[in-house]
Structure 1
Amino acid sequence: MMSISRAALVLLVSLPCLAFAQDKPANQQVTRQQCDVWVQQLANRKAWPYKESYVLDSPRNSGDVAYKDVKAAYDQLADNFEVSLPSIMQGVDDNRFSHWREVPSNGVFAAYSVGHACRSLIAAHIEVYQGQIAFLDDTGVPRSLYFIESTGGYKVWYQSRKDKPLFELQLEAIDWALRQPHDKRIEPKVWNDGRAELSKFRANFVKIGKPLNPNHELQFEGK
């Protein structure tokens, strides 16, 4: 089994992509109905033009209006994640085509569903510890610890937590990550350094007492 070296482990002491959520003015509050519309807008108006789920060459018309509509909806859901979470959960099993992007580990261009987009939104906003401890697997793919999967999947995770505020959901995930045993693929010192940084991260998170905004947005070629 390959041991992950310090160079391969991603440890971010400071996270420029994370910010603490700001309260929106009353006139900027969004409704559940608006969020439902955005989730529906994640379904691309144009069908994936290939039989396979991935292709080797960049898909055609990557920057057209249909893709921009998907991105606009995705980014709105990300910006309003706490209020939109119930709507996003309704889409986690939606198999309609949403968007495509290049897979960094192998260079193919893969099609992604509405469900994948919804699951990505949830993971980015709940598993906020991932920037503190992550590593590359044997194939060079970034990996981390996956709290939501450990609970039995997205629907199981949400069912018993749907009334909790975002701050508590994020804190639960951070605490779970801190309890995980040493991953044998990672050198002990590197693993311990990552846990130490995550402990500092947690202390600052609790001190401020607000949920984190990962500034997450949809990325695809032709943006």
Structure 2
Amino acid sequence: MNKTVLITGANRGVGLALTVAYLEAGWRVYATCRDIARANELTQRQSLFPNLTIVELDVTNHDAILHLAQSMASISLDLLINNAGYYGPKGYGFGNTDAEEWRKVLEINTIAPLKLAEAFYPQLKEGTPGMIACVSSKVGSMAENTSGGGYIYRSSKAALNSVVKSLSNDLQAEGIITIALHPGWVQTEMGGPNALIDSQTSAVGLKKVIDNLTPADSGLFMDYQGNYLPW
């Protein structure tokens, strides 16, 4: 029987590459995006992969998350990948932080992954049991922060890492593994053209890491090459 994964933010970048990687591996993939009409690269995959189901979802709409979870109540979920992310403004310095943008980034990067984990907890329990993989970033590491700045994005990913750690403690008894993952510096709309790797390299690496996770890895922070990162 095919394994099943739910991937958020699947319309482009690492999310799209992860979707393709899991489809090619024979998984049943539920891929979410905010606007199906603008997700051309994702919808083009439907004719190639009958195991792909595309769902329109704004991850900041908690009622919509619950509705989706209820509509998938009969499905066992082997993996939830919280990939949807938002960087927010770039280039601002100390003294110029946009609080409204900060709230928006926290809603998407920090709050939504927990709300998705809560909503799909029954399906994850029915999995093998399932895993929760949250796409974080090395810039959220306290130990790695030697340059300052980036208050909005850094803090959202540091907070996400804290969510992952708490989830790992709360769900350990259920056998659900929770992990924070750094995808690398990727050539995407967020990462920019000067980034070091492409989306496919990141996605293939992330999938390999997820495939090899053990209960001992739950609550840890790893990169796409399988290296452990400091909080």
TM-score by length of 1: 0.27
Q: Which has the higher contact order (CA 8 A, sep 6+)?
A: 1
Structure with the largest fraction of strand:
2
